[in-house]
Chain A
Amino acid sequence: MTEPATVVAAHRTVGGPVRDDVSLEELVYEAGRGALRRAGLDIGAIDLVATASSDAVDGRAISSMVTVGPAGGYGRDFVNCSSSGAHALVAAVLQILSGTTEMALVVSWGKPSEAPLDVVERLAHDPIYGRAVGPPATPMLALQVRAALAADAVSGELATGVLLEERAAAARNERSPVAEAPSAAEVDASPPLASPLREIDLPTAVDEAIALVVARGDRARELTDRGSVVRGMGWACDPTPSLGDRLPLPESLAAAATRAYAGAGLDDPAEQVDVAELADPTPYHAPLVGAALGLDGRATNPSGGHQAGWSGFGTDLRGIAEVHLQLAGEAGAVQVGRAARGVAHSSFGFATQGNTVIVLERDRGTP
């Protein structure tokens, strides 16, 4: 029987939302070094480095060139995905399952203090139709939320509750640079951005890098009895960046979940999933995505979700890291209890055009 891929360790860089004390290279090194330390390894044990980078956000052409070294990639197998931070994990798992890799370091990052994400995102509009008329990312999200409100799929009251809960969770989460939890009055007083979104609804941009050590199952068990087995992976992207008829949620979300659940053998996720980290670029999204994924809302985004900071590609990988920490019982102040199975979801593009769903399960020993 083929050995599965198992997450052995995870590390999120710490520090304030703006990490102007370090360069991008130093931030990436900090993450990789942290994950290796947690796994009890040095870089010599790694045979694959898988990264995910965004040229536009990093402000360089082929930005993985400058980060592959700090990520530990010199002299070893290397792959870089540029579609989602979570796709670095996908690539590593595929290589482990194909038998060419035993031990991988998976790294992604975002340093938005050096790149205004709302401006950069506009360059993703196609140059023929979209860029001439296409709005920035925030109004696109607002249109998506408006469609959900019109369909009674979510409410403003529910979103406000999610916001307060996630900001409180983020304040408890020692890995989150977002430490202040607003009051209900502060939420109400927040100025509007694009109806129904208020300034406070949008996550704080943070500089962060995330690294995971992922190993072939037998190698993972040599290192830890707290590994998280990757049981299912699904990823997809809706055909067009424009909203068109994909409101309120893109088809790629259901497609990614269907594939991931099938891989993990899940048929009743509300009962079978103990913890979930869902991408929520606004507080409206967590309940919307949770319902679409068939989750019952228990233990959703205990880390604070995107309210614990958003860095683009780095945050994509962070959700997977947080689920692993929950399954390993290493989530600290935001630990939800003894969780056996978790779902990590991430999204990218205008109004969540693309989606990735990963199902992790606490390692129960030899397959």
Chain B
Amino acid sequence: MSDAVAILGTSQTEFRHHYEEPQPELVRRAASMALADAQLELADVDAVVYSMAPDAMIGVMHPERWVADAAGAIEGRPILRVNTGGATGLSSAQLAYHHVASGLFRTVLVVGAERVGESGDAQMILNRIWDPFYERPFPLNTVTMLAMQAVRFADRYGTTDEDLARVSVKNHRHGARNCHAHIRREVTVDEVLESETIAYPLRFLDLCPQSSGAAAMVLANADVARTADRAPAWINGVGVGTETYWIGDRMGPRAAADHAESPALASAVESACARSGIGAHDLELAELYAPFSSTELHAIPDAGLCESGDVAARLADGEFDIEGRLPVNPSGGVMCSNPIAVTAMVRAIECALQVTGTAGGHQVHSPPTHALATGIGGDHEFFAAMAIGAEPRSRTEVRA
């Protein structure tokens, strides 16, 4: 059992609406780019984790069998696939972390690709995540589900449509600096408020795009990391939480959790930070999985970065801007690119880039020592968190 796990290399393609390349070619491209970034060859890789959310997104059942070659699972190299919906990218990176931290593998490649337009509208497919008898016919999709969440949050904490718009403005301003982002244009509060209402209070410019593209990470143990000619980022802690499947179980007097918030995200972040030997107050940057502006409003306090009642004011004060005290989603986040299979992995990649000072046009002024990546999957059901640092944190030190 080893302690911290290094992020030796990462890759992201440009994210856009459509790619001509089929799934295996996108996977191969991302894998090759990440290996080149890590200055390793495929022969150096001991195992592969394939990150792919619902099969239906690309219209192929069990695509891990189709892309095994492209993902590098040749010559008997182990491969398995993780699917936790929107959290898949971070869940995959977490399982790759466990490959290395178990001591059974030295170097692991985690890779995935998304061609979300392959099977029509993503929301049509995402309606199929709900129960066929009760919830599917509403019809629920992720927009209507989170619109209800946004209304509930606003009712509890007094947030306004303008507060939602300010999240969108911030993230679009960040995304405009990110060469990988799907949406690279700034918007104003008025533009957001005047955009078409999709499901109140969520308007068109409160929502993420449907993105295609690929991403990969190369993880390695400390021995391999020592051979690298530049300082890697380190995964110092991981955490997971889950909530109920039935949205109706998240409201009313017997609710285990309230649909306005996500206590399972809070517990996932707490676990990741505790395993890193830090508290949420030590975090200096966060890439939070927030496909809609409303998600970020609750994810910031759920991650322990402020109180729920303060989030709107702090946002208005610029505290979460790229130049602010605690930048949140300096990449533009999910609102500017949402290639579902790898969206949550990109959160970890962006944290790794930031702590190593290699994020390019959206690099924060002073590279953070501790950063947080999160993922959310299902109907706000699966939550993953990863604490990423500029230095490795040994587990022995944490215990002490």
Contacts and interface: CB of A to CB of B under 8 A. Distances in A.
Interface of A: 2, 53-56, 59-62, 64-66, 68-69, 73-84, 87, 90-91, 93-95, 97-100, 120-121, 123-128, 233-241, 251-252, 254-256, 258-259, 263, 348-350, 353-354
Given A62-B83, A237-B73, A82 B1 contact: no
Contacts of B264: 75
Which 5 A/B pairs are nearest by Cβ-Cβ distance? A255-B76, A239-B69, A98-B101, A97-B102, A123-B61
A124 B1 CA distance: 37
Contacts of A236: 73, 76-79
A241 B83 contact: no
5 contacts: A59-B132, A94-B104, A125-B60, A239-B74, A256-B78
A256 B131 CA distance: 37
Central interface residue in A124, A236, A251, A256, by most chain B CB within 10 Å: A236
B131 to A, nearest CB: 7
B338 to A, nearest CB: 15
Contacts of A68: 242, 245, 381-382
B244 interface: yes
B242 A79 contact: no
Contact of A60 (B98, B129, B275, B381): B129
B86 to A, nearest CB: 9
Contacts of B191: none
B82 A81 contact: yes
A82 B129 contact: no
Contacts of A81: 80-83, 95
B84 to A, nearest CB: 5
Nearest to A70: B245
Contacts of B245: 65-66, 68-69
A345 B80 CA distance: 16
Contact of A80 (B22, B73, B84, B128): B84
Given A55-B83, A236-B73, 6 more contacts: A62-B129, A68-B242, A68-B245, A69-B245, A74-B242, A82-B64
Contacts of A234: 78
Interface in B214-234: none
A252 B74 CA distance: 9
Contact of A235 (B60, B78, B129, B241): B78
A61 B73 contact: no
B53 interface: yes
B60 A123 contact: yes
A292 B79 CA distance: 21
Interface string B309-338: 000000000000000000000000000000
B157 interface: no
B289 interface: no
For this complex, into which size category does the number of interface residues on chain B fall? 35 or more
Contacts of B132: 59-60
Given A54-B62, A91-B95, A237 B79 contact: yes
Contacts of A94: 95, 98-99, 102, 104
Contacts of B344: none
A78 B239 CA distance: 10
A251 B69 CA distance: 13
A121 to B, nearest CB: 7
Highest count of chain B CB atoms <10 Å: which of A82, A240, A348? A82
Nearest to B73: A237
A315 to B, nearest CB: 15
B360 interface: no
Contact of A97 (B80, B85, B103, B381): B103
A56 B62 contact: yes
Given A79-B84, A240-B69, A251 B62 contact: no
Contacts of A254: 76
A83 B81 contact: yes
A80 B98 contact: no
Given A82-B52, A121-B61, A124-B65, A91 B98 contact: yes
B68 interface: yes
Nearest to A350: B65
B291 interface: no
Nearest to B133: A23
Contacts of A237: 64-65, 68, 73, 79
A258 B85 contact: no
Contacts of B82: 79-82, 91
Contacts of A75: 241-243, 256, 264, 267
B68 A240 contact: yes
Contacts of A263: 104
In this complex, the member of A99, A128, A240, A353 whose beta carbon has the largest number of chain B beta carbons within 10 angstroms is: A99
B303 to A, nearest CB: 18
A272 B83 CA distance: 36
A82 B81 contact: yes
Contact of B128 (A61, A233, A255): A61
A125 B256 CA distance: 42
Interface string B367-394: 0000000000111011000000000000
A29 to B, nearest CB: 13
Contacts of B243: 74-75
B102 A65 contact: no
B1 A241 contact: no
B59 interface: yes
B50 interface: yes
Contacts of B60: 123-127
A79 B91 contact: yes
B126 interface: yes
B188 to A, nearest CB: 36
B352 interface: no
B378 A252 contact: no
Contacts of B152: none
Nearest to A92: B98
A75 B270 CA distance: 13
Contacts of B382: 65, 68, 78
Interface in B271-308: 271, 275
B379 A65 contact: yes
B66 interface: yes
A160 to B, nearest CB: 31
B61 A99 contact: no
A98 B61 contact: no
A367 to B, nearest CB: 13
Given A97-B104, A99-B1, A126-B60, A61 B125 contact: yes
A77 B256 CA distance: 17
Contacts of B381: 65, 68
Contacts of A95: 98, 102
